[in-house]
Structure 1
Amino acid sequence: MTLQQLRYIVALDDERHFGRAAERCAVSQPGLTIQLKKLEEAIGIQIFNRSTTPLSPTGKGKEIIDKARVILEDVDAIRNFIVDSKNELAGSLKLGIVSTLAPYLIPIIMEPLRTALPAIRFEIVEKSTVDLINSLQQGTLDIALMATPTGRDRLREFPVFYEEFIGYFHPTLKPSATNIQVDMLDLENLLLLQEEYCYNSQLLAICDLKSPVTQERSFHFGVSSITTLKNLVRAKAGFAFIPSLATIHETNDAYLLRFPEPRPVREISLVVSKNFTKTAALEKMKESIWNALPPSLRQGTTFTKIRWDDAPYFRQKTKEL
């Protein structure tokens, strides 16, 4: 059994296709197939069921692949430690940012990160919460900036700031109260995002709901961005709860309504695998992001942190993936 063979079976599990896995590992498809067969013969266990489409691991194979991931993470951690101990503030970092945060945060943190870490090349990608977690655990992402806690034992979380949820209503449909009173809202009109189960779980938790309230409508909205949610509100299609960074360029306060204290917030953290070693870079990133935030996000307020990892809606939706 070799480390390269372990990398092959992890790639096969991720891609579920011999051609794509071979391309990812920079090896010919026949070469990858031969190494898989050699490994299976050496251990006396079939790791993949070739008769299924897409390719799938056997029961024992899944256990072996999970252990292989841990082994490869440890090996990569040793290699990274050696490199990073020579120069912790240089090299490249792949940073993933959750899609409900990325459009508003990326523009204001680019220059501060460049100034604080001039020798690091950042590759920034926008992903859903589920994709960020999977990418961190698979080692294809170095750091994620996302809502926490994740509830994952193999990840480490470093809270950066707390972002308030704000109500977004069409002025003609906005409640007349000075603050949002959830029990006075028609929750059938709460707009959610398609496939952003973490975000939706937090909104449902604010409303003390375990699942969305459904109704027969002329339109069903499967939207994936907060910008689209805001435009639907402007079209009187419903109301939304949006994170405060999504309102920083809002020119019409008539659409906004805040919750009473303690206000609901989401915790935004830098998340890494347990084997991440560039701790000096992580600390500088945390400081730079904090200093780049609008003053309103750095002011102390009484709040309630809204979780999503233990929500029934989130568990059910991710089970369906």
Structure 2
Amino acid sequence: MTITQLKYVLAVAQYQNFTKAAEKVFVTQPTLSMQIQKLEEELDVQIFDRSKKPIELTETGKKIVNQARNIVNESDRIQDIVDQEKGFIGGEFKLGVIPTVMPTLLPMFLTNFINKYPKVKLIIEELTTDSIIDSLQDGTIDAAIAATPLNHELIKERVLYYEPFVVYDPRKAATTTGKIKVDDINVDELLLLEDGHCFKDSVLNLCKGSRDTDDDRFMLESGSFETLTKLADEGLGMTLLPYLNTLDLNERKQNNLIHFEEPSPAREVSLIYHRSELKLQIIEALQKVIAGVIKGAIAFQNVQIISPKA
């Protein structure tokens, strides 16, 4: 049994296809298949049910894969120890980012990071919070940027910034002076992101218990803030935006924003990673770069954190 064989098993378990798994681990499909077959023969068990399409793990295979992840992670830790001792920051690093953070935060820090750490091959994927948690647990990503707190026993969190919510309502903005309270929001007129977005969950937690969908003239959920603001412009309701999303609005749309009274409801955005702390030196480098650029954009201190979890 070798570490390489276990990595091949993990690749097939992830992609459920021998050809695609072989591409991801940079070997030919016959080589990968032969190594997995040798492992099955050595263990005298069948890890994969090849009769299923896509390929599935057998019950024994599921247990083997769980243990294989632990073994591969611990073997990777050896290289981590060497890299940290040498002060080396490089190699492949897979980062998940939630959709409501990706378009605002990524342009702020990405150029700085790749210029400062050219030896890091950063692979970024847009994922929902639930997908991020699953991917961190199975090792398919190294870290993620998500709304927290998540209170997950296997995940560590490093807070990057607190981002206030801002009301976008062309109808009320024309007649409102100053700031508003959460209780001033007509939650039955809220235009929301679709299911799967943690920002929607945070908004619903902020307005918990006060939304009555039975009396709605219509219900609408969208995958983008741009769509929500355009619908609000048409007088179809109001929406809440994360603060960074308001910075790129044109002057006309800026006039439709209303800020909350302090403490402003806000989301906590963190860099999260598995408790095994693999590639910690890259995680710390990411945190340092992001902290350096974000402090110039968000200076809010008096906020009330709204969790994305119920």
Q: TM-score, normalised by structure 2?
A: 0.83
Secondary structure of 1:237 counterpart: coil
Query: Where does residue 273 of structure 2 map in the other structure?
Result: 272
Native 8 Å contact 1:158 1:269 kept in 2: yes
Secondary structure of 1:229 counterpart: helix
Secondary structure of 2:146 counterpart: strand
- Letter matched to residue 231 of structure 2: L
**Against the structure 1 CA distance between its residues 161 and 219, is the aligned structure 2 distance closer, same or farther, given a 3 Å change threshold?**
closer
Identity in percent: 31
Native 8 Å contact 1:146 1:270 kept in 2: yes
Native 8 Å contact 2:173 2:256 kept in 1: no
Native 8 Å contact 2:149 2:307 kept in 1: yes
- Matches of 1:164 and 1:300 in 2, distance apart? 10
- Letter matched to residue 164 of structure 1: P
- Matches of 1:175 and 1:17 in 2, distance apart? 59
Q: How many residues align?
A: 308
**Against the structure 1 CA distance between its residues 52 and 246, is the aligned structure 2 distance closer, same or farther, given a 3 Å change threshold?**
same
Native 8 Å contact 1:204 1:212 kept in 2: no
- Matches of 2:295 and 2:231 in 1, distance apart? 26
Residue 299 (str. 1) matches residue 297 (str. 2): no
Alignment root-mean-square deviation, CA: 3.2
Secondary structure of 1:46 counterpart: coil
The 5 Å alignment of 1:90-169 reads 90-114=90-114, 116-117=116-117, 120-169=120-169
Native 8 Å contact 1:116 1:285 kept in 2: no
**Against the structure 1 CA distance between its residues 188 and 131, is the aligned structure 2 distance closer, same or farther, given a 3 Å change threshold?**
same
Greater Cα shift, 153-162 or 205-214: 205-214
- Matches of 1:260 and 1:71 in 2, distance apart? 51
**Against the structure 1 CA distance between its residues 188 and 75, is the aligned structure 2 distance closer, same or farther, given a 3 Å change threshold?**
same
Q: CA deviation at 1:244?
A: 0.5
Segments of 5+ residues of structure 2 without an aligned counterpart are none
- Matches of 2:256 and 2:81 in 1, distance apart? 50
**Against the structure 1 CA distance between its residues 191 and 220, is the aligned structure 2 distance closer, same or farther, given a 3 Å change threshold?**
closer
**Against the structure 1 CA distance between its residues 212 and 275, is the aligned structure 2 distance closer, same or farther, given a 3 Å change threshold?**
farther
Query: Where does residue 235 of structure 1 map in the other structure?
Result: 234
- Matches of 1:66 and 1:235 in 2, distance apart? 52
**Against the structure 1 CA distance between its residues 91 and 28, is the aligned structure 2 distance closer, same or farther, given a 3 Å change threshold?**
closer
- Letter matched to residue 272 of structure 1: Y
Secondary structure of 2:193 counterpart: coil
Residue 206 (str. 1) matches residue 203 (str. 2): no
Secondary structure of 1:130 counterpart: helix
Query: Where does residue 314 of structure 1 map in the other structure?
Result: none
**Against the structure 1 CA distance between its residues 123 and 36, is the aligned structure 2 distance closer, same or farther, given a 3 Å change threshold?**
closer
- Matches of 2:300 and 2:173 in 1, distance apart? 30
**Against the structure 1 CA distance between its residues 23 and 142, is the aligned structure 2 distance closer, same or farther, given a 3 Å change threshold?**
same
Q: CA deviation at 1:169?
A: 1.4
- Matches of 2:307 and 2:80 in 1, distance apart? 32
- Letter matched to residue 227 of structure 1: E
Secondary structure of 1:267 counterpart: strand
- Matches of 1:75 and 1:211 in 2, distance apart? 50
Segments of 5+ residues of structure 1 without an aligned counterpart are 312-321
